[in-house]
């Protein structure tokens, strides 16, 4: 069974700072997804990464995928309070395997 681990689980950071969330997975896959979840809400798609070396950016978030290392990163640049949420990565195998989630709190 494919296992997906995220690090860190909880993150508190000040506005304006940078940080990276890591997503490691255990077996080969070339499809990785990042989602955002606000409290009480469902998942909002952020990025779809479909090949080794893929890099996508949207606003203050940038995601990358290294299929050889089985690693994806979600980099936050100059964090703002509105980014506070839980972020999940998910790897596509014969189903979607979700990471443990990273709960991000951005402090003004």
* Residues at the site binding another protein, with contacts judged by CB under 8 A: 31, 33, 35, 40-43, 45, 48, 50, 88, 92, 95-96, 98-101, 103
Q: What kind and span of H or E run contains 92?
A: strand 85-92
Please state the closest distance from residue 23 (CB atom) to another protein, in A.
12
Work out how close the CB of 65 gets to another protein at its nearest, in angstroms, rounded to a whole number: 13
CB 33 within 8 A of CB 48: yes
For another protein, give the closer residue by CB, 8 or 101: 101
For another protein, give the closer residue by CB, 36 or 70.
36
Q: How far is the CB of 24 from another protein (least distance, A)?
A: 14
C-alpha closest to that of 22 among 67, 64, 81: 64
E-strand ranges in 2-70 read 4-7, 10-14, 19-25, 32-37, 43-49, 55-58, 61-66
């Amino acid at each position: 069974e494919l296992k997906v681990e995220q690090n860190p689980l909880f993150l508190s950071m000040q506005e304006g700072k940078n940080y990276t969330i890591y997503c490691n997975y255990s077996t080969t896959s070339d499809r990785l997804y990042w989602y955002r979840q606000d409290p009480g809400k469902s998942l909002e798609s952020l990025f779809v990464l479909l090949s080794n070396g893929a890099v996508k950016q949207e606003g203050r978030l940038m995601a990358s995928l290294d299929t050889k290392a089985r690693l994806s990163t979600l980099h936050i640049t100059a964090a703002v309070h509105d980014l506070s949420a839980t972020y999940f990565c998910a790897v596509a195998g014969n189903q979607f395997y979700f990471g443990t989630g990273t709960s991000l709190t951005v402090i003004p």
